[in-house]
Structure 1
Amino acid sequence: MIKLVRLDYRLLHGQVVVSWVKATNAQRIIIIDDETAGNDLKKSAIKLAKPAGVRVNIFSVACALEKMPKVEQLDENIILIFGSTSHLLTFIKSYPHISKVNYGATANVDGAKQVSQSIFLTEQQQADTRELLALGVQITVQQTAVSSAEELTSL
């Protein structure tokens, strides 16, 4: 069962490993990011950072969509982590079963608009987020499981 869908450009890191895995009792983390899926060095580093007893899969968007029927059959608590709003939007357009997304962190790059403490969105990321909201996806901003969630309703 998918317990958390998270957008976080850092993918697998301390907040996920410590806070979210515990809060969701996750047994599997699926990272969906085209660039990472095609980079053996990044995949190796992520697999080294995974918590003991938790399985990690790293898929491109296309591969993840192909595997969703099998993922749905797993008797595990699962966290999906997306590295970008574009991958998240593409995935949800083809797999509309996701109704809630947690925005954990996005990179603070030139020209990005700060939406919350850890969320900075470029024009394209803002457009992707507006489209997700238009699709009826509830977006919350929450860094850790114990911090309070802010609902993102518009940009």
Structure 2
Amino acid sequence: MPEPNIVLVRIDNRLIHGQVATAWAQHSGANLLLVPNDDVAQNPTRQSLMNLAAPKGAQTRYFSIQKTIDIIHKAAPRQLIAIIAETPQDVLKLVEGGVPIKKVNIGNMHMAEGKKQISKAVCVDENDISTFKKLSELGIELEIQRVPTEGKENILELIK
């Protein structure tokens, strides 16, 4: 079975979000934005708001994490998929469920109780750090890059 054409996997707690979504869709060539998120999958209001922010010409899909795992391999070769996940934990669930992810772009993880800022737009807690280390151990390339025009940072250097 051919692998799904995943052109981008991004962690952004805002999910599909204005200029950021447009910039990354253009940069990656994605024509399908897939949000694997149990809450959003059941929340038509959030889906509608994200559809407004989605770049023109790109389709959107909002699936639970399990449904994403179950159907990603049925994607057509013409579907150039950008997966936009809310947290590193969600990405790890996808990987453990067999979604063929090779590289993760870390965009925006906002400040919250118990988190520390490690780069301009990325704040992490111990759970995030251990999840990123697990992803790295699974051979997945991790880089922080807010928008395609900015430089990349190695998250493993920043969480030492």
Q: Which interval holds the TM-score relative to the shorter structure? A: over 0.9
> Which residue is 2:121 aligned to?
118
Q: Confirm or deny: 8 A CA contact 2:72 2:99 kept in the other structure.
A: no
**1:125 aligned partner, one-letter code:** D
Matching residue of 2:50 = 46
Distance across 2 between alignment mates of 1:153 and 1:106:
15
Q: Could you tell me which residue of structure 1 aligns to residue 133 of structure 2?
A: 130
Correspondence for 1:7: 11
* Residues 1:111 and 1:99: Cα distance change in structure 2 (over 3 Å): same
What residue in structure 1 maps to residue 89 of structure 2?
Answer: 86
TM-score (norm 1): 0.92
SS at match of 1:115: strand
Q: Which of 128, 132, 153 is equivalent to 1:150?
A: 153
Cα distance between partner residues in 1 of 2:59 and 2:12: 18
TM-score, structure 2 as length reference: 0.89
Looking at structure 1, the residues matched to 19 and 128 of structure 2 have their Cα atoms a distance apart, in angstroms, of: 22
- CA shift, 1:48, in A, is 2.1
> How many residues are treated as equivalent by the alignment?
154
What whole-Å deviation, never above 9, does each CA across 1:95-135 have from its counterpart, x for those lacking one? 25211100001020021021211110122112211211121
Cα distance in 1 for residues equivalent to 2:152 and 2:112: 24
Structure 2 residue runs of 5 or longer lacking an equivalent are none
Conservation of the 8 A alpha-carbon contact between 1:15 and 1:143 = no
- SS of residue in 2 equivalent to 1:46: helix
Q: Deviations over 1:51-97 (max 9, x none)?
A: 221100011110000111112x3313221100112111111112252
Flag as ranges the 4+ runs of structure 1 deviating above 4 A: none
